[in-house]
């Protein structure tokens, strides 16, 4: 009897019968299909350096910077997992990175690099895999990760004019023991459907709320502990025909506080100072074509 119960659960969770979900959230039948999005991101960063006692440290030449990226990315369903979550390939196409309008020192080339977004059918993000190939200086691909919330928005099922809270998670975990978990406590408001360029219409959501995060990082001889806090607001437009993202935008304003320290030979951590970076981050993406 227990075996039968187990098998029923497995089947319900894995294929012959699917849990009810909104149309369009199922993966496309063919792996060869995909969606291409144009994106741009602008991140204005102001940095402060604090000594071990919290006193500001003057660093000549450390001014506010504006980082910007412009490019395209490809989103494609690749696989399903036994927990009924789906693996989506997110691959950058050509990406132009600039600092204060100048090409060059900003970052390594992200073009062609990929990550895997694992989400439930509701688009709730569970994990972002392969981030170790994109994150950290000089590539700084981790600074683009908030775009994934626009790419995979876990919108609540609510009627036009209604609002509902829904917390979403965005883990930025490139390697074991290295990364930040962020939680976005968002209030989602469904607006009137809007016309889109191809003659169709889209379901429109506006959302906003506080963002919190914690984590750590480390390398040879150093370790960092992170706290992130801020607020975010954004808009999502889902096609009424296919329920896929037509466009999305995010603005998040917040601070990344990294307490940096030396990792001693016995594995302990000795705090040496703090790097506090304030971000005014704006990103948007727009579907370029292709149907799932």
Partner 1 sequence: MILLLFCTARALAGLTPMGDPPPRYLDEAAVIEGIEAGQSAIARCFPAGSPSVIVPVTLQITREGTVREVRLPTPPDPKRDPCLEAALSGLRFRPHDEPVDTWSTTLAWVDGALRSWPVVQRIPRPRGPILLRVPANVASIVAEALGVDPFPPPAAPGTPPPAEDRPTQDDH
Q: Which residues within the stretch 39-68 sit at the binding site for partner 1 (CB under 8 A)?
A: 43, 45, 47, 49, 51-52, 57, 59-62, 65, 67
Under rule CB under 8 A, residue 130 binds partner 1: yes
Residue 128 CA, distance from chain mean position: 8
Residue 47 vs 240, nearer CB to partner 1: 47
Residue of 113, 158, 164, 288 that binds partner 1 (CB under 8 A): 113
Which candidate, 287, 235, 249, 234, places its Cα nearest to that of 75? 287
Under rule CB under 8 A, residue 71 binds partner 1: no
Under rule CB under 8 A, residue 73 binds partner 1: no
Q: Give the nearest distance from C-beta 11 to partner 1 in angstroms.
A: 5
CA angle 205, 208, 210 (to 5 degrees): 155
Alpha helices in the chain (DSSP H): 2-14, 147-151
Residue 14 vs 241, nearer CB to partner 1: 14
Per rule CB under 8 A, count of chain residues that contact partner 1: 72
Residue 181 vs 201, nearer CB to partner 1: 181
Residues numbered 175-214 forming contacts with partner 1, rule: CB under 8 A: 178-180
Under rule CB under 8 A, residue 87 binds partner 1: yes
Under rule CB under 8 A, residue 15 binds partner 1: yes
Segment interacting with partner 1, rule: CB under 8 A, options 21-29, 34-42, 103-111, 153-161: 103-111
Residue 48 vs 185, nearer CB to partner 1: 48
Segment interacting with partner 1, rule: CB under 8 A, options 21-29, 34-42, 156-164, 274-282: 274-282
Question: Are 144 and 114 spatial neighbours (Cβ–Cβ below 8 Å)?
Answer: no
Residues numbered 254-273 forming contacts with partner 1, rule: CB under 8 A: 256, 258, 260-262, 272-273
Residue 177 vs 200, nearer CB to partner 1: 177
Residue of 24, 28, 93, 136 that binds partner 1 (CB under 8 A): 136
Under rule CB under 8 A, residue 7 binds partner 1: yes
Under rule CB under 8 A, residue 25 binds partner 1: no
Residue 28 vs 52, nearer CB to partner 1: 52
Residue of 41, 142, 252, 284 that binds partner 1 (CB under 8 A): 142
Q: Give the nearest distance from C-beta 239 to partner 1 in angstroms.
A: 26
**Largest pairwise CA distance in the chain:** 73
Residue 205 vs 252, nearer CB to partner 1: 252
Question: Are 130 and 114 spatial neighbours (Cβ–Cβ below 8 Å)?
Answer: yes
């Amino acid at each position: 009897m227990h075996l039968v119960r187990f098998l029923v659960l497995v089947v319900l969770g894995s294929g012959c019968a699917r849990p009810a979900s909104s149309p369009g959230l199922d993966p496309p039948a063919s792996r060869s299909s995909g969606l291409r999005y144009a994106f741009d991101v602008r991140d204005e960063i102001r940095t402060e350096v604090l000594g071990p006692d919290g006193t500001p440290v003057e660093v000549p030449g450390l001014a506010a910077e504006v980082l910007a990226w412009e490019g395209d990315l490809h989103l494609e369903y690749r696989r399903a997992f036994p927990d009924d979550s789906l693996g989506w390939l997110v691959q950058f196409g050509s990406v132009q990175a600039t600092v204060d309008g100048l090409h060059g020192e900003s970052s390594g080339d992200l073009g062609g690099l990929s990550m895997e977004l694992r989400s439930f059918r509701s688009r709730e993000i569970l994990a972002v895999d392969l981030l170790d190939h994109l994150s950290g200086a000089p590539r700084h691909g981790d600074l683009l990760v908030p775009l994934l919330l626009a790419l995979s928005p876990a919108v609540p099922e609510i009627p036009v004019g209604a609002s509902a809270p829904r917390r979403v998670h965005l883990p930025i975990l490139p390697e074991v023991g290295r990364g930040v978990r962020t939680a976005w406590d968002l209030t989602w408001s469904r607006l009137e459907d809007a016309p889109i360029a191809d003659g169709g219409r889209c379901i429109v959501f506006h959302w906003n709320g506080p963002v919190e995060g914690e984590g750590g990082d480390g390398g040879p001889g150093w370790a960092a502990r992170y706290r992130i806090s801020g607020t975010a607001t954004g808009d999502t437009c889902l096609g009424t025909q296919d329920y896929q993202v037509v466009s999305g935008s995010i603005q998040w304003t917040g601070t990344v506080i990294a307490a940096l320290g030396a990792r001693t030979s016995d594995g302990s951590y000795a705090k040496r100072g703090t790097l506090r970076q304030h971000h005014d981050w704006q990103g948007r993406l727009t579907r370029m074509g292709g149907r799932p």
